[in-house]
């Protein structure tokens, strides 16, 4: 920590020694005093986006104060530093760019990647990487995907105890197919159609090889890659280094934890509960695969997209969809007809289509199941398949609900209900923390299932599907321990005894170094 970054917490004697008297007011503030003052400033901002910009500046100027503030006010600030507000920051990334935070690996530098990463002096524990082709529900934003990488790493540090000085946001620039960005003179990325096909994968091979060479024990999280690439990249690299795809596996883990919690409250076993997943892309297939593992088979998991039930006669059937493809005579119905046919106990939305769960669809769920589990997970808020008040109104308040975006509490029959947010922050920080603490060699399906069970082991208030967001730090530690133990059992990490001391050693606390 650079002493000058302490700002008004820098002791007066140290200011004199460094020759920086006069550059700040006289008072020596404690970190808690700084936090309270900055919180008042953030609260006074006129819009969530203005708050986001102020917090991003604080993150650059004084990371200790930034993370101390975020940890003390996480429920309020989580949607500001990440979704949904980060979406606008990604869309305006080039206009807002003032100085570099992270690395941009361009297609034009494909033969010099080793040299570029060797120039990074810091040691790195966690990297979040994106090519910006499918950012949230906003589409291809090119290098605007960097905002997602920065935001996710902020959560790794705020919720998962990863030292921010040992993280690296990394954006892969292979062009963009967004016509607005291609014509925008202010866009700072490569203004050309995206590299695709074998050339794309050859480039990604070079990127991953350069990362592995520079930081062989790094945790590498893939984020916001298009569905056509996401599963392929996961399969391609998951055995080469400690990596996972949060859109596929992180989303699947936290959604599965919600499903298990909901079915437990409803008194139904997963193996007896049909699940209908609306959206058959990488996220939907990831959730389907994890639920199938937990249930002991794929028979009860149905995939549905814009063409109806995913069936085996499709020429475009992906490898991830194949285990869930139905016979031809089971498909091509509307969503409403499919619900009446399948009679699901669980309805999950990862379609990106706002309002897709109409009142009629939600009423049908209430008719076919006494206490349905309904998860409209698409982000940002406008892309949610349904809002909490719509879900509870249509089901007589009986549905067990979690949403992808944050929603305010809803009053149902005079009762104030808090809306559980099915946020990946309950899972990925703990996965990264556990893998870093014990230097796991890869992240296996078993480790991910261990994370699901760790989240599901938390006691919940009736009607809630996840612990309060204030507890995500505790959840991260529990997930980390479960992940670490599973890694050892599977021969993917070498340590003896309880991993808790290793996790404690890895956990970073925001504090200033004492002046010497």
Catalytic annotation, residues: 82, 152
* CA distance readout (Å), 225 to 11, 262, 271, 383: 46, 30, 32, 18
* CA distance readout (Å), 501 to 90, 437, 481, 506: 38, 9, 10, 9
φ/ψ (deg, to 5) at 514: -65, 135
Helix, strand, coil fractions of the chain, as percent rounded to 5: 50, 10, 40
Q: Cα–Cα distance between 23 and 128 in angstroms, integer?
A: 36
Residue 96: count of CB within 10 angstroms of its CB: 15
Report the candidate in 269, 439, 408 with the shortest Cα–Cα distance to residue 346.
269
Q: Name the 3-class secondary structure at 153.
A: helix
Strands 242-245 and 219-222: parallel
433: which 2 tokens? 């923390």
Place of tokens 């612990």: 467
Strands 308-309 and 301-305: antiparallel
């Amino acid at each position: 920590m650079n002493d000058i970054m302490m700002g008004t917490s820098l002791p007066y004697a140290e200011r004199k020694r460094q020759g920086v008297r006069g550059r700040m007011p006289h008072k020596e503030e404690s970190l808690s005093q700084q936090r309270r003052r900055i919180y008042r400033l953030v609260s006074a901002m006129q819009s969530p986006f203005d708050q986001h910009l102020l917090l991003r500046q604080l993150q650059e100027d004084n990371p200790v104060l930034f993370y101390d503030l975020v940890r003390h006010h996480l429920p309020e600030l989580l949607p500001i530093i990440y979704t949904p507000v980060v979406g606008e920051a990604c869309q305006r990334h080039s206009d807002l760019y003032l100085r570099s935070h992270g690395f941009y690996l361009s297609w034009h530098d494909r033969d010099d990647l080793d040299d570029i990463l060797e120039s990074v002096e810091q040691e790195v524990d966690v990297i979040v990487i994106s090519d910006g082709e499918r950012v949230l529900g906003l589409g291809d934003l090119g290098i605007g995907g960097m905002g997602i990488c920065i935001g996710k790493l902020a959560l790794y540090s705020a919720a998962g105890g990863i030292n921010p000085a040992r993280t690296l946001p990394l954006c892969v620039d292979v062009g963009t197919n967004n016509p607005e960005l291609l014509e925008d003179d202010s866009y700072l990325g490569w203004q050309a159609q995206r590299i695709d096909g074998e050339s794309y994968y050859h480039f990604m091979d070079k990127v991953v090889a350069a990362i592995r060479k520079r930081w062989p024990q790094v945790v590498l999280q893939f984020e916001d890659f298009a569905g056509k690439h996401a599963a392929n990249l996961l399969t391609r690299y998951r055995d080469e280094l400690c990596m996972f795809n949060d859109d596929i596996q992180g989303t699947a883990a936290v959604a599965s934890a919600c499903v298990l919690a909901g079915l437990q409250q409803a008194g139904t076993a997963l193996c007896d509960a049909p699940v209908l997943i609306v959206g058959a892309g990488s996220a939907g297939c990831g959730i389907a695969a994890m639920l199938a593992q937990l249930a002991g088979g794929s028979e009860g998991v149905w995939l549905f997209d814009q063409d109806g039930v995913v069936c085996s006669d499709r020429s475009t059937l992906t490898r991830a969809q194949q285990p869930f493809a139905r016979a031809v005579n089971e498909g091509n119905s509307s969503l409403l007809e499919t619900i009446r046919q399948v009679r699901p106990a669980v309805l999950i939305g990862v379609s990106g289509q706002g309002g897709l769960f109409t009142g009629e669809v939600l009423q049908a769920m209430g008719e076919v199941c006494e206490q349905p589990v309904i998860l409209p997970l698409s982000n940002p808020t406008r892309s949610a398949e349904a809002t909490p008040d719509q879900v509870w109104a249509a089901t007589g308040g009986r549905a067990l609900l979690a949403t992808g975006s944050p929603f305010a509490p809803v009053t149902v029959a005079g009762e104030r209900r808090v809306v559980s947010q099915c946020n990946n922050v309950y899972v990925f920080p703990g996965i990264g923390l556990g893998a870093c603490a014990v230097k796991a060699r890869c992240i296996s399906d078993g480790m991910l299932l261990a994370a699901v069970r760790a989240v599901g082991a938390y006691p919940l208030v009736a009607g809630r599907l996840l612990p309060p967001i204030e507890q995500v730090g505790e959840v991260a530690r529990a997930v980390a321990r479960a992940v670490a133990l599973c890694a050892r059992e599977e021969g993917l990490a070498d340590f003896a005894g309880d991993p808790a001391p290793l996790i404690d050693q890895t956990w970073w606390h925001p504090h200033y170094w004492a002046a010497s």
